Amino acid sequence: METMITSTEVARHLGDVLARVKHTGEIFIVTKSDKPLARLTPIRSMKRGRGIEIMEALARLPHDPDFAGDLEKVNQMDRPPINPWG
């Protein structure tokens, strides 16, 4: 769906327009003096998946049996050092 919008309206409501582009995928044709000037459209760099598709994709990832241990090591290294004067 394409919505015609003047450049003035875009300037006044940019946040709302961008939210509609992001969340609904709406496309805007920006006009100036009643002539099309630009198209504001979402970037489709990644396919959006439904929940079940995402879960299935995660299930296909390779299993790393050492991941939990590695994560624990990272968590321990992230603790503040012991204060020798405390």
Asked if 32 and 6 touch (Cβ cutoff 8 Å), the reply is yes
Per-residue model confidence as pLDDT tens digits over 3-58: 999 999 999 999 999 999 988 989 999 999 999 999 999 987 556 667 888 888 88
CATH number for the domain formed by residue range(s) 2-40: 3.40.1620
Supply the pLDDT for residue 86. Answer: 67
CA 18 to each of CA 12, 31, 36, 42, 58: distance values in angstroms, whole numbers, following the listed order? 12, 16, 18, 9, 30
Is pLDDT at 81 greater than 80 in this prediction? Answer: no
Please tell me whether the overall predicted TM-score, pTM, comes out greater than 0.85 for this model: no
Token pair recorded at residue 81:
């050092």
